[in-house]
Amino acid sequence: MSSDAELAQVPDQQQQIAAIVTFEAPPRSKAPAPEPSSGEGEGSPEPPPVSPTKPSRGRLRQYALAGGIGLTLVVAAAGYLYWDATSRFQTTDDAFIAARQFSIAPKVPGYLTAVPVTDNQHVATGDVIAHIDERDYRVALAEAEARVAAARAGIQNIDAQIDVQQAQIVASKAQLDEGQYKLVYAQQQATRYGELTKEGWSSRQTGELAAAELYQQQAAVSSEQAGLTVAQRQIEALKAQRVSAVASLSQAKAARDQAKLNLSYTTVSAAEPGRVVQLGAAVGAYAQAGTSLSMFVPDKVWVVANFKETQIDAMRPGQPVTFRIDAYPEREIVGRVASVQPGSGTAFSLLPAENATGNYVKIVQRVPVKIVIENPPADVALGPGMSVVPTVRTDPSPSLYQRLRSWL
């Protein structure tokens, strides 16, 4: 009887344990204990009720092992997908926006009469940044133009003298021709009277007069020839003077052009679109030539990303880039690789590393990569020094994850 009572209490204990484990399932009603068999001729007694079987420890271990293997496979597959996707990209946080900013300075000195811009203002090409008092430069331009007019008048005067000298040469040639005709006549007379005097048909005095006339005509022809030579030499001198006058005119024109340039330099304007930064100019201030009025940051900016030298093996110009700027983290901007610097950043520093002396510890070098920005946003200010996190796609082939998504 005691053994039958213990068997009858087993289902009650299992129900209590199940209720404690589930915290929600109410205990099942207790099954009535079987009555002991009193008859001896009615066959064998009924077997005791069978309790629910509990899984063995070996089977639990099998379940845990199978679950662990499945979880490992899932984690490995996810890890491979992640590695396969990220291996096609290279990224770094050592990147900054760069630009060729420069100082705006006037070419001529003077007092500032107007400064129509303010700090951080965006200007277009040709917009005025400052005006310098131009009165002195207008006076200098008028003086230069007067010198040009005087040089032209000098050339015209020399041209007139050349014309007069040309006429003088023509007159000298005519006188020379006349003298040569008279010389021929004198030579004929002298010859004629010489023969008559020898034959006694003429007096000796007449022959001497004819000879004297010949000598006089010869001297006159020589004098006229010398006068013609002098006139010709004079015109050469006038031509040389004209060359000098033309050079003076060119010099006067150059001075006039310089005066015009100086007058135009009194207006300081933007050479390209950009922003005026750190404006120091003020109306009434005296600006020296070359003195900085403000800094200027052009609109054309790019990104300099300092990748590790182990990251640039597959990096080539033209590869697409996406990057985020720390100042505008919600913006994703696109660009492309423009070039890779042929050397590390330390190789072009002011004091490059000298690894041939002392102890050497190898470290991974950084190589600057220039990234151009395509369609930069116009509603935000991008300037040199801003931190950027670029991501370069070095492998254009689709990853396994992308292929799976396209298939599914």
pLDDT digits (tens, 9 = 90+) for 391-407: 999 988 887 777 777 88
Q: For the residues of 219-268, what is the DSSP string, one character each?
A: HHHHHHHHHHHHHHHHHHHHHHHHHHHHHHHHHHHHHHHHHHHHHHTTEE
Q: Could you tell me how many residues make up the chain?
A: 408
Phi, psi of 215 (to 5 degrees): -60, -40
pLDDT digits (tens, 9 = 90+) for 203-224: 666 666 767 776 777 777 777 7
What is 135-264's CATH topology?
Helix Hairpins (1.10.287)
Domain ranges of the chain: 1-48, 89-96+301-407, 102-131+272-294, 135-264
pLDDT digits (tens, 9 = 90+) for 324-382: 999 998 889 999 999 999 988 888 888 887 777 777 788 899 999 999 999 888 888 88
Helix axes 400-407, 57-86, angle to 10 degrees: 100
Question: What is the spatial distance between Cα 392 and Cα 312, in angstroms, rounded to a whole number?
Answer: 10
* CATH class for the region spanning 89-96+301-407: mainly beta
Instruction: With residue 217 as reference, give the H or E element that holds it.
Output: helix 204-264
Q: What pTM was estimated for this model as a whole?
A: 0.62
